[in-house]
Amino acid sequence: MKPTPNLTLLEESLSVVFIDKDFLKRALTHKSYVHETKHADFEDNERLEFLGDAVLDLIISEALIVRFPKMAEGELSKMKARIVSEPTLASVSGGISLGQYLFLGKGEEKTEGRGKRSLLSDALEALIAAIFLDQGFSTAREVVLKLFNLHIEELTRQNMLSDYKTALQELCQKEFETLPIYRLASESGPDHQKMFEVIIEIHATCYGRGMGRSKKEAEQRAAQAALAGWHKDPQ
């Protein structure tokens, strides 16, 4: 039988000490545990999951509105959907080793439930709700932003790079009545760690170069370089 997890370690990783430990235990309790053990003191986390989904949605929506004040609603919705998606939630759960703290039934244990993306993402939403109920919105917001910071930063980086290509396209159409042409100049490195170099040509003249771990990133970097040197002589 798996020993009872030390929930104090989870609290330390979250920088939260629960006032009512029952909220924390409930957030970590899968329905399989309740069904198999018929433990009178345990309630599964499905209701908390429902609430946590809404709390997470609000916190991430606010963060994106603040980070991208000029972005249209449609784009904000796409970014939010990516952040609150099951793969992202499971990734965040892995960062705090959430799986090892879960109360699971024997069936889920045998089928490696502690590593299932759906189970981990649901438990994380339940945990967010538990923090909200025990500590209030301010603490829940602080924890969520800390846990999801890297994913928000990644979207910020991608959005900025995407804006370079859009800006360059608009500038080319205005100045030259044409679009920039992106050409792959070189590839280097092993298959699992490729580096790509892309050049931008406008009327057969090179205006920018960029490197990246994907062709798309290299193109974006090249657009950034082209914009930075726009008022200088072509390369």
Which residues carry out catalysis? 53, 125
CA distances from 131 to 6, 14, 62, 85 (A): 18, 10, 18, 20
Pairs from 182-185 (Cβ < 8 Å, separation ≥ 24): 182/219, 182/222, 184/215, 184/218, 185/209
- Which amino acid type is present at position 94? G
Cβ burial, residue 52 (10 Å; 0-12/13-18/19+): buried
Q: How far apart are CA 64 and CA 201, in angstroms?
A: 34
